[in-house]
Structure formats: structure tokens, C-alpha cells
Amino acid sequence: MNTMIDKVSDDLEHEFDVFYDPLPHRLRCFGHIINLAVMEFLIGKRPPTTDSYRGPSDEEVEQWRKRGAIGKLHNIVVYITWNPQRLQAFTILSDGLRLRRDNDTRWNSWYKMVEWALRSKVRQAITIFCAQEPALQEDILTPSDWTTLTETCKFLEPFQDATIANEGNRNSICDVLPTMDYLLRHIETSREITEVPHLATMMETAWAKLADYYEATEDSPVYSAATVLNSSLKWAYMEKTWEDKNEWIEKAKARVEQLWSKTYKPTTPSPILRQSVAPGPTAIRPNGYKIWMKEQKATILNMDDDEYEAYCREPVMMISDPLKWWLERAQRRRFPNLFLMAIDILSIPPMSAETERLFSKARLTVTDQRGSMNIETLNLLECLRSWDRSALIAQLERGYVAPAATDAMPDI
């Protein structure tokens, strides 16, 4: 990703004489960050991947075995699932339950492998199978190994919860910093209470990896801005979470203020009232009371006040969907420019999962018979498909209409 945005920056400068700083525009997939932190905990530097045709070598098996309980379980699962006869023998012992195997791309495959192996029937079947199989004698899981696997599974549960909570199509980047805080504290607590010394060391490596990416969020003001624009968090969240790191808070505030001032803040103050046109001979006489009331509201709200500062002064309120809150007519009227900033930022997903799903589904549109479809047409079709699934348009007897159409566009 760094290579791509560096290339974009160079091309914009050379071809259009436009300066584009790639660093603050670099947003990372949160799912990838979780994956790196957990894999650092599980196996650190990964041994060579098993060849899909020849199977694991003796050297590879030994390297996995040195990883402890998780490596021995990996060897057992690979050995059993590699051969149909072994797999059949195992399923007889486990009453039809098959093993779940880890893979190279997703950390939660390891979590599912461990969680599944800890189920009573599967665990019993593994114990019996290993005792009967000469090739697995060095990989037999001891009571201590099973204790380690149990603690490992318990340690990974919050990472699984965090992944599920952030991978949907209704999640926002405003959840990234709070989720990272949650996971860092979970690692710290787990490290203090674990009774398995080498697990504590593994947890430290996971903490270090996650902390590195936490610090990397300082490169872009978007992460802090997203948290602040969540009206149920605002700066109060960071002031409480980072209470011993005032320097972090001040730097974050300066970055968000700069983003607001340079990109979204209007250069001229918003008028309190629109100028009225002199009534013609047939014009309706203005309602004096309504004019007076409008002046009072303008005075109370102080429409010349900085929108961002006014928003930050307001108390935190409990809401479940920050983006939906900003789309309400009231917010669009009170904060016409900050509203645009909120929509731009809060509409950024924390993970690339939904984007990847959309990309994969596009394959269903571009079939062999539609190979010549141009990009613009594909773009339109995928937008319509997405809008239809998300209920942005409602089906009528003779076509479609946007639900709540009067609220669809800003009323400023």
C-alpha cells in the first residue's frame, strides 16, 4: 500500500503539479493489524509452509514441534488430514467430527483449530489417535500442553470478538482506536495473570506488534478525528483513556484541528439569516413572529461560532450509530461544514473485508459472456446491487424509490 500511494503522489506532482502527501492518507486494514499481532503471538516467524503436493518434511515437522503445544497440534492436524485413511479413522474415534486446520492467510483459522480441538470428543479422539500412531509419538499432547492450548484459546477470544465487531458493512473507522485500546489492555491483563511463563513472553510480542501499529495511527489525523466525531466518545474518551499521556492528546487535537481548518472550515462566516427580498405587490407579508424567533435561535446557537469548537463543547451523548446520527437533518443544519467532514471520515470502513466481498461478487457480474463490459457500466451495476441489498431504495409496484427521500440530501 505504501508503494501505491507513493506512486500516486509522484504521478500527481509530475503530471498535474499537485502536491499529495501520502503519509496522512495511509489508512491500514484493521483486520490485517489484528492478524499480524495474533500471528506474532502464535508462531512469531512462521516455519516454511507445507507443500500442498509432497507434504511436510521432517525438518518442517521438527520446527513446528519446537513451537510448543500450538506447533504440536498443527503437526497432528496436518498428519491426520493429509491422508484420507487417517482422516476416516479419526472421524470414527470422534463420532464423525472432523479436525479443523489452520491456513496461511487468516489467524482465526488457528483460533478455530484450537477451539475445536478442545471440545471433549475431539480432544479424546486426538489423544487416542496419537497414542496408536507411531509417527505422532513426539507430538503427543501432555496435560501441560492442553492447559497451554486452553489458555491460548481464552486469550484469542477477544481478538475474535474484535474481528467480528469490525468486519461488517455498517462499521466505521471510529471504532479502530477504542478496539485497539481494548485489545492492548486485554493483553496486559492476560500477561499478568497467566501461569504459563512462555505464554507471557508470547503475549509481550503480540503487545509490541499491536503497539507499533497504534503509534502508526498518529501519522494520519483521520483516526483521532473519527473518534472525536463519534458523539458518544468525543475528546472525553481520549482524555480518560490517555489520562497519563497529555502530550498525545495535545498532538491529536492539533492534527484534527488542522484537518478541519484546512479542508472543511469555511473561509467566510456563515450568515445568521438569509437576506429577504422586498415584497412585491402580490407577495405574502412576512410573519414577524417567525422572523423574531429565527433571530433568537440564531443568537442562541451563535451561527458565526466555529462549528468544530461548538460541537466539541457539547456534552457526550449515547448513540449507537455515529454516521446515522450525522445524517439526521438537525446535525446537517447545525453543522453544515462539519457534517461533510463527519460523512467523509465516518463512512470509511475499519477493515477491507466488505470491499473484498464486493470485489469478489463483481466476478458474478463479469461472466465469460460479459467480458467486454466497460468499467463505468460495472461500476453502475455494483452500486445498484449494493443499494438494493442495503435498503437504500425500496421496491414499488412499478419501480424503485428512495425511502425517506426528503432526508436523503442535506438541508442546509
Number of domains in the chain: 3
Whether 283 is covered by a domain: the verdict is no
Q: Which pLDDT score, from 0 to 100, does residue 394 have?
A: 61
Q: For 10-69, what is each residue's pLDDT tens digit?
A: 888 888 888 888 888 888 899 999 999 999 999 876 555 555 545 678 888 999 999 899
Asked whether residue 140 falls in the same domain as residue 176, the answer is: yes
Work out the average pLDDT over 386-397: 65
In a domain, 209, yes or no: yes
Mean pLDDT calculated for residue range 345-365: 80
Which of the listed residues 185, 201, 219 is the one where a domain comes to its end? 219
Average pLDDT over residues 238-256: 92
289 lies in a domain?
A: no
Q: Tell whether 343 is covered by a domain.
A: yes
Does the pLDDT of residue 167 top 90, yes or no?
Answer: no
44 and 138 belong to one structural domain: yes
Residue 258 lies in a domain: yes
Type of residue at 213: Y
Domain ranges, residue 226: 1-26+220-269+300-351
Same domain as 260, residue 205: no
Residue 142, judged by CB atoms within 10 A of its CB (0-12, 13-18, 19+), counts as exposed
Name every residue whose Cβ is closer than 8 Å to that of residue 53 and which is 6 or more positions away in sequence: none
pLDDT of amino acid 46: 59
Stretch 219-240: mean pLDDT: 95
In a domain, 184, yes or no: yes
327 and 362 in a single domain? The answer is: no
C-alpha closest to that of 145 among 76, 95, 192: 76
Q: Using CA atoms, how far apart are residues 221 and 245, in angstroms rounded to an integer?
A: 17
Q: Do 342 and 358 reside in the same domain of the chain?
A: no
**pTM for the complete prediction?**
0.79
Q: Is the pLDDT of residue 411 over 50?
A: no
Q: Chain-wide mean pLDDT for the chain?
A: 85
Please report whether residue 277 resides in a domain. no
pLDDT given for residue 261 in this prediction: 95
What pLDDT sits at residue 188?
97
Residues 315 and 376 placed together within one structural domain of the fold: no
Q: Are residues 138 and 63 in the same domain?
A: yes
* Residue 112 confidence (pLDDT): 96
Condensed to tens digits (0 to 9), the pLDDT of residues 171-224 reads: 899 999 999 999 999 999 999 999 899 999 999 999 999 999 999 999 999 999
Are residue 238 and residue 189 in the same domain, yes or no?
Answer: no
The CB-side HSE value for 233 (13 A sphere, CA atoms) comes to: 20
Q: In this structure, are 132 and 215 located in the same domain?
A: yes
Last residue of a domain, one of 310, 329, 351: 351
CA distance 307 to 313: 10
Which comes out higher in pLDDT, residue 404 or 389?
A: 389
227/346 same-domain check: yes
The answer to whether position 247 is within a domain reads yes
Which residue in the block uniquely carries the three cell numbers 487416542? Answer: 128
Determine the pLDDT at residue 384: 83
- 305 and 166 within one domain: no
Asked if residue 79 and residue 61 are part of one domain, the reply reads: yes
Which range, of 93-97, 256-260, 288-292, averages the lowest pLDDT? 288-292
